[in-house]
Structure 1
Amino acid sequence: MNKQSPDTSATLFAKARQVMPGGISHRYRWRLPNPNYVDRAEGAYKWDVEGKRFIDYKMGATSQMMGHCHPAISQAIAEQAGRVIFAGDCNPIEIDWAQRITDMVPSAERVRFTASGTEATMLAIRVARAHTDRAKILRIDGHYHGWHDHLMKGAKAGPEAPPSLGVPPEIADLTLVCAPDRAAMEAAFAEHPDIAAVIVEASGANYGAVPMVQDILLAAREVSRSHGSLMILDEIITGFRWAPGGRQALAQVDPDMTTLAKIATGGMPGGALAGSAQVMDMLDPSVTKNGMTPGVLHQGTFNGAPIVAAAAVVMLDLLADGQAQAQADRMAHSIRAGLNDLMGKHSIPGLAYGESSTFHLYFGENDGTLNGIPAGTIRTPNPALVSGLMNALNARGVDLMSAMSAVTSAAHTDRDVDETLTAFDAAFHDLKEARIL
């Protein structure tokens, strides 16, 4: 599609709703009166089908760490596409890809590729159950690990019921939910000794939208190990973003398994499960476990696809020295500081916060750390504020991941930060005038 096309985002959405449920392929792309339809993207920017430019803080749902269409990554994809896109065989480049992950991620000794991040967490659960011969999974309230049945319960902070129809209670009952607290974990094991694994989102819920102290990662490691269980660390967003070795390198925690996707797959579709050789041997077809060879059956047509591997190898090479992460972190820090200044200027009770290359917004009274504010409250802001802020920013050429959360990339610059803060300044003014803030 080009700028001369008669279609707009509005007309495309009308067409999409005739052939796709709701007109979308992802729940959070739903937006009224219509979502934005993006035609092209480069660096820190993207343009919709009408030619409007946005400074992008969604960055491919956090996957485009080097910015959109980084020349080296695009070239690698193009060259690989000219050789073989997918043949259904082993390919040399997947070895290079796996080697980079094991070199960079402290706990990774073996890697199995999947077709998505959700599949990586599904596989981690199956491996954990097979390795421990236990059935239950302990997860932290409100953390997100993909849309599959096994971890839907607890994905929305507060309610015990899964936030979706279609999850049988027999499956939901195998998932235990606890607060991000060592005592809560210990209590869960005391009541349920058949816990196969504890799974934790490395940054806290939704890439740190609900802050979580580092000690919880260490507690999950220690509690799981003391009870003969495994620790699964979800680094699907934090992996290679927080540091070349992920959030676990900063926390100095060694999970039994780590789930990866997004940046780990070069900003292309895919995922990976990395872990200790002992645990990952459950997937080795040359190893028999409890009379089964391999112990865990895992297939997937597009696992380790060479065109994804080509992008991933280049991405990980670009991130290996930590300079790209440092640039993205600096941009996010500047935005957080600027947003807090703007909240003060407009007398808006609230807080801009986050780790690494993220920034999140909370509107309401707080102590500067969000201590004592329930996770459900943080994650469910006023709908009028959500839509009002998103629309006000979009009108000024700024697009966040959601109205309350975003990420930066290595491609963002100080000029982008200044333009972004100017847009927020005007948006806050408008929302105050409309009595939304």
Structure 2
Amino acid sequence: MKKILIANRGEIASRVIGACREMGIETIAIYSDADRDLPYVNEADFSFRIGEPPVGKSYLQADAILELAVNEGADAIHPGYGFLSENSDFVRKAEEKGLVFIGPSSEIIEKMGDKVIARQTMMDAGIPVVPGSEDGLAEIQAAVEKAESIGYPVMLKASGGGGGIGMQLCFGQAELEKHFGSVKARAKAYFGNEEVFLEKYISEARHIEVQVFGDAHGNIVHLYERECSVQRRNQKVLEEAPSPSISEEARQRICESAVRAARSVGYTNAGTVEFIMDENEQFYFLEMNTRLQVEHRVTEMITGLDLVEWQILAARGEKLPLVQEEIQKNGHALEFRIYAEDPVKFMPSPGTLEVFTYPETPGFIMDRTYSEGNQVTPFYDPLISKAVISGEDRARALSKAEKILGEMRIEGVKSNLPLFERMLQEEEFLSGNYTTSYLKKTKITG
């Protein structure tokens, strides 16, 4: 594997480029007109325009991306996350063109990428799932009937993709009817599949996910869990590893369940099994993301492993570098997703990033999408960067985070830095005993 095309943008493209450079692999970047000046474009060995800013005319242009990969002599495609990363048709086409897809097979993505099929697969494997619809819901009437049977509130979700973009919390029939069409439209626009389904919404719960890895030789391991309960509009804002709030017994059970889930489908490459956990530490399967996660860095921090390198090794058909007993966790890590958005209303704040400075210190990684002078456009997720901070334990990681974020300067666009600064002063967050409703209760005045 000598040359990899990265079918993505921003900080994840930079992340993959860095790992490939360490492995002596050339990289091809693609960019839309809106992204031509972003850092990753210059970091790659080769860069090519893929289209106009809207994702449907650029980063979702599957045929054009594959044609470029073949024409430029790429051996493989790294999808990053989002966009085409969980699109089984894209993977199948790549395989047909002789390209290695750095991820699971199209069959596995089809089974686990479709949330409805994944739920049934997990039930067959004996893993508890959140009560919800057994099939996709094509019409609003079917959705209303299912919601009435499981009880409100319910979460309306896209079958073909994860993340806050593809879901909507509904407290009653009026909200369900209001949002049904728009969620279907977003699902089609972002994931190429308009099918939706319903799940019972469990309030005051923790969102815990487990990083898993598999190879072509039948080896499957976990790399421990991540706490992802700090969310706004069902989108993660802060993640940490390990979870500060679960018992060691629950940690063992949830990690073993994640491995069992992956083994039930013969999983290969990087994947994440997501669970919701109630106050009694009973957990339920939510979904499996058949790709690298935005928050993979915190797992790297506590394990000392390079997950992108592992992805490439697995895609080359090699065995995983370590067996389960050799994978150890040390210290604590947090990831702060820094968005160009109003910190009170959580609305995007596009504009020119005039100032973006931060200190450099050991145990701190800044994965940037934008640099000073770049234009933060309204076409994509307004993630400026991810600040990943580690320490010998959670208290030291939090202390370091307070110092680093306090010295960070962002001007030209609004950002959510005030949110994090407030969180780092609040006892509920500092205690580690918080749930997915935490951010809704946090009042930020700037």
TM-score, normalised with respect to structure 2: 0.31
Structure with greater helix share of residues: 1
- Higher Rg: 1
Which structure has the highest strand share of the two? 2
